[in-house]
Structure 1
Amino acid sequence: MEIGHCRASEQLLLFASAGEVSVSCSGGSWQSLDMPTQVCSGDEFDLRFSENSRLVVLKPALELFPDALRAGVLRQFPAMSPPIKKYLESMRFYFDNAHARALTRELLGQLARFQAGGPVAVVPKMQPLDRRLRRAIEKIEQNPGWEFNLEELARYAGASERNLYYLMKNNTGMTPYRFYQRQRLIRVRRRLVDCQASEAHISRYAADEGFSHLGRFAALYREHFGELPSQTVRRRQHLYEAEAEAGELSCEMLV
């Protein structure tokens, strides 16, 4: 799939977190986004995605090496790849808003040191997940209609219930049920963010994921994302209104 005529409303860092993603700036050659790649404010560029790929778009608060920037020229930062990859892997298992903020502060601190010309800390490579744990996680992530059953999950993973419980707790900081609940919250949030209708139906989306008590759902949502579902909807609406007033669709909206 290709997305053409994107325009950076401000300086961006583009980075493929899954699959193959390439970028072409000002009609130039295609360049892989397997490492953080800088796009200047105002640049127009095209994107090419492989199947099941994912693109991360970062907006640095300050310009990176502003004296060296030239419009239409892509600059890559391989030294940034390890801390960003570790961050993205860790964010897969953050268990509440406070934890997510702590992980983000750590990443921003590393990027700030890099921007100031300091050395980037060596990031130890994360060990692959235990095969049994990986199977359990994939079952929860890839089967939205599945109702939680620890005995069934353990049997599918090839572990005892006790072993699976401790495998997940020790590797992710969450129990199997907490991880299952987290995935349901994430799916609701995605629907709220992606909703194209004039009104997002929070209660219906929550009910579709098995949350029958709206007050309890809102509390869990706020604990995990740091805001109420209604606040997510308002922020999404404000973003779309701002883009509509600008009269253009930016890259940030497209991806």
Structure 2
Amino acid sequence: MPLAFLNAKSSIFNGANPFEVSDYVRANVGSHSLSLSSRSQGSASLSHRKAGGLDLCRLSYGARARVISEGLADIYHLQFILRGYCRYTLPHTTLDLSAGHFLLLNPDDPLDITYSEDCEKFIVKLPATMLGDACAEHRWTRSRERITFKQVPYRFQELESLIVLLQLICEEAESALTTPQMLQHYNRVVTTKLMTMLEHNLGLEEPCEHAPCFERLVQYINDNIKQDISAEQLSHFSRLSLRSLYLLFEKNAKTTPKQFIRQKKLEHVHATLTNPASKAPNVTAVALEYGFTHLGRFSELYRSTFGMLPSEAMKSRLSS
């Protein structure tokens, strides 16, 4: 049974000039140059659909074609050969793959791909940030190096669950009833499947103490608690995208980075106000020291957190 990767609703070109198709692919799927065998001008076809952060593409040049790329920048390509064959000349190996094979191409690797005249492929363009989000969500250890998948081909039979999922995503992407939230959910499942099914350079164990994980972020916040700390600063420090950062805080603290920082500041203020050894002259000075410039709002936050006004906390310290 043929694989149901995109139907006529997603057709962009049919029986077209391969170079017109190549221009479209270059703009939407990945930078490259195309050359054809002089014996044929080809009759190309292309279907394309966006599905959340993914681009889905079914492609045939209808001629013996050569595609060269200096690299895919910050995207990965999932390539499923549906018909014909492809030769992949990669930095460290050359692979001749026939229909029924899958290969994942890493960002930045130079590519030299030769298509047979009857070759048809289904390609999924996956932004690198989505894999970073998956690592943050599952708390997988990630080094500063880019996630790199081993350049080994897989048979479709080895990836049945992934293929079923991608066919479902194609169907949902073409449906008028699908919501963006549904597609984003499917995106997350795809990235998780890739990380758990394919070979790569990442360990899937829980992060160690040296990883840019939640514990290190908490320490960074405590070390800079009197500063105005933003989510962008935490993102830069942890080398996580903002989305990954928010997922990490939601998983570990059930709150946002901003609310977590505010709570930590309140705890430090409370510790200062109730510490008998503290030299703080008054509540205002302590509040301003920790960045609370709106004193009325600060008092409300303090009372809702600790069940008393900050002035009452300070009085209890002085009376003791």
Range class of TM-score, shorter chain: 0.3 to 0.5
TM-score normalized by the length of structure 1? 0.40
Higher helix proportion: 1
> Normalised by the size of structure 2, how large is the TM-score?
0.32
Q: Could you say which structure has the higher strand fraction?
A: 2
